[in-house]
Amino acid sequence: MRTLVAFLLGLILGGIAMLFLPDPRRDELNAEVRKQTDALQTQLHSFGDQLKTLSLPKPEEKASPSPSATGAQ
């Protein structure tokens, strides 16, 4: 999560810096941001694949699906 926040902060600061930088440096920043977004997209795809294969533990059959109304009058 910390990595994602740092990445987004870098994108925001990079976008602001691109407004004030000369063209050659702006092109370098664009290439760097493109690499970072591609890496983030790859990580999100792998995370999605992990979630697809995630198996959650099944609840016990004795447990009631809703809370009981004991004590509520």
Q: Are 14 and 25 in contact (CB under 8 A)?
A: no
Q: pLDDT band at 13, cuts 50/70/90?
A: confident
pTM (two decimals): 0.44
The pLDDT of residue 63 is 55
The pLDDT of residue 70 is 67
Q: How far apart are CA 67 and CA 29, in angstroms?
A: 55
Tell me how far the alpha carbon of residue 34 is from its chain's centroid: 17
> Which spans in 1-73 are helix H?
2-20, 23-52
Average pLDDT, the chain: 79
The pLDDT of residue 35 is 93
Buried b (16+ CB within 10 A) or exposed e, 40-51: eeeeeeeeeeee
